[in-house]
Amino acid sequence: MGEAILTRDHIQITHIIIGRRMAADFQNVTIVNIYAPSGAERKRDRENFFSNELPYLLRGIPPTFMVEGDFNTVLTNLDPTGHPNYSRALQEFIRRFDLVDMWETSQ
């Protein structure tokens, strides 16, 4: 598995962090890119990721941030195109950090 941050030359990003999560600052926003464990057999790992690992990885991140990436789960039964893979831990993470699902606000 490999991740990358791609930008155009004129976009200035700073404070790039690469590891279990990727983060970079753009203007006054920290953009955090994650890749949660995938597959039905890794549901427990995924729930642990959202409950424990991701909050730990976000420590020290400024309060103005955006989390993006591949969550490998859904928030409602309306989201999937196939079998729903709902995550209570992701729902709790969103509540705990007072986040907004952009998919919901863009429709």
Q: State the residue range of the domain holding 58.
A: 13-99
- Is 85 within a domain? yes
Q: Any idea what the CATH number is for the domain that residue 95 is in?
A: 3.60.10.10
What is the residue-wise DSSP string for 41-106? GGHHHHHHIIIIIHHHHTTT--SSEEEEEE--SBSSTTS-SSS--B-HHHHHHHHHTT---HHHHT
- Is 39 within a domain? yes
- The domain total for the chain is 1
- Is 104 within a domain? no
- Is 8 within a domain? no
- Is 2 within a domain? no
pLDDT tens per residue, range 5-42:
778 888 888 877 776 678 888 888 888 888 888 888 88
pLDDT tens per residue, range 50-99:
999 999 888 888 888 999 888 888 887 666 666 767 889 999 999 999 99
- Is 5 within a domain? no
Q: What is the pTM of this model?
A: 0.78
